[in-house]
Structure 1
Amino acid sequence: MKNKLAVFFTALLSLALLPQVAAHKYFFGLTEVSYNPRTQHVEVVHQYTLHDVQRALQKQYGDDFTLDNPNAEAQIMRWLENQFALFDSNDNKVKLNWVGFEADFQNIWLYQEVDIAPTDFCRWRVSNNILMREFAPQVNTVNFVTDNGTDGVTLTRENYTKAVNCQ
């Protein structure tokens, strides 16, 4: 009876810990860069796992960092500016303007925009090492969306800057 009880509690504990283990099997972020004809701006939308971003921000700003802190938005903006950049077809760094962020219980979305209207993103370059310092297996995909389709780049810690290769 003791063995059955021990097996039962071991199995129960394993199931209870499964979500925490499963939550860290992969580290993936997605960014979409697209032109909005209504606003005539290039919009940049980043989506990441909330607890991974919070962990990175706590590491940088201290354990007391929370999203409801009055300084949180400014801290997120500075953190993002140091880890994400776009370069136009002339290899000039593109000025990204902060728009804001929103989060739910699982994800965080970070919004930026550019006050230009490119005809396409061919030969643009992107540098994105978001969360790569904190999580070695982090993979970030950046999709450039146009009327002609989507061209994407996949970035890793070893290669976090790439040019858009339009087809």
Structure 2
Amino acid sequence: MTLRLDTLKANSGARRRKLRKGRGIAAGQGASCGFGMRGQKSRSGRPTRPGFEGGQMPLYRRVPKLKHFPLVNPKAFTVINVSALNELKPDSKVNLDSLVKEGLLTSPKHPLKVLGNGQLKVKLNVQASAFTASARSKIESVGGTCEVLT
């Protein structure tokens, strides 16, 4: 006999008849159909939503609050410290493009953020998307300006 789609059949005993519930005591699952007498799980429809743990904070809401879960939409910046800006000319305009031209940055994929590590000795007009508080204070203490780009 050849194996064809129209001759396919399940093995004997693989498919059992559906259990007909609520058809009397003799049927085995009569009256309450194996759901017991009362309570939430005996009512019609789904007793609780998926993931419900009786009011306890469910697993799918607990887990992301633990450590080592990455941010979904993290903010990425191209960063530079104020100590690297000492090589620039005084009163010059500093932004992402000028830093690439000077060779201080090589791959400006993201917006510029200025960090406050080190000392600044040169007065500069800095344009960046973000500044740390220490970087802003160091730039302004020398007489420079900080302009936030949006």
Structure with more relative contact order (C-alpha pairs < 8 Å, separation 6 or more) = 1
Structure with the largest fraction of strand: 1
Query: What TM-score does the superposition give when structure 2 sets the normalisation length?
Result: 0.30
Q: If you compute each CA radius of gyration, which structure gives the higher value, 1 or 2?
A: 2
Query: What TM-score does the superposition give when structure 1 sets the normalisation length?
Result: 0.27
